[in-house]
Structure 1
């Protein structure tokens, strides 16, 4: 029974092997030249030989590298499968299965068949989890989108409003009362004279008693002389 980590390691090795073979064939076509490759395709009966040479050269080279790192596997696998399907139909189908039979080169379809089926498997999602595509997808999942952030902000705002409604209102703090003035002891209060001008009545200060003025109309008494008779 296979486990998921073991399958991922096997998928990496499969992508590595298939990718190296594709890159080698693509580089061989580019090194020989697109024009020379197009003439070879024309001799083999491939339609649109120049366009087919450009397509096969760059798809095999770049597609092989993409298989190794696991980049765009659905698209990469589909393009490589189309490339091998064209090679099978137009070049190798009538040459038999084997590339080499005994000492003679038969140019059979065994290689393009194996590479095409492997490409189809990678296009269908058989590349495993150890790919660049999986790494990019995990980064996107861990990064919150703008809509999620807005929803979280709205939820936190509503929760704060609910907490504010359920929280009891604080009672206003009462200011401390000033200490009461001490009541004076009557025994310790000094007695004030009745005519003290500081003595205050309810209606105001007590006015001092007016002295009776001697009438200016009364005659002044003369001093008596030695005889006792007033002058």
Structure 2
């Protein structure tokens, strides 16, 4: 039996996402425009609209997941990417978060340590006809390349935020990351005010799997 995904998407936005302090009309519109169900496996399409983490296709362990839809929406709203801005995502996953960023930013570079996740993200983004995202294999845990970014989205947990990532923010740039240890982490928004000063604001409490990186001993999971 075919599913009415537009009706299900409407309920997701109105009953799960909007009540979770997501009221930016551009963000809500993007959630309607980019089909989340196309970034999961065929047997998970209906599950893409449920408020839960989903295992990624080809995941090697239970911690390679897609974040809850309301959480992705809150991150996008906090980052407020603009059409003139460059974004970096640490942890490509399915490519969905990169797709959300790409709808607002000039360009997105998404980096994942797992080549299979890079292949998955590239495939999903290509099928969605999203052309302003570059997906690369690598470890961006402490930064990526030598350029600055207006937006940095860390799509996984970190015990602490590495200075290298903060320093890659352009003046006025914004970064979101999940910082801390189980049982509670904080989703944190970092804004660079000038060459030496940053502000940090806690968006919400949560718990997400840690990113894998050889650069940190306490990170044991990947997604």
Place the TM-score, normalised by the shorter chain, in its bin. Answer: under 0.3
* TM-score, normalization by structure 1: 0.24
> Which structure has the larger Rg?
1
Structure richer in strand, relative to its length: 2
TM-score (norm 2): 0.24
Q: Which has the higher helix share?
A: 1
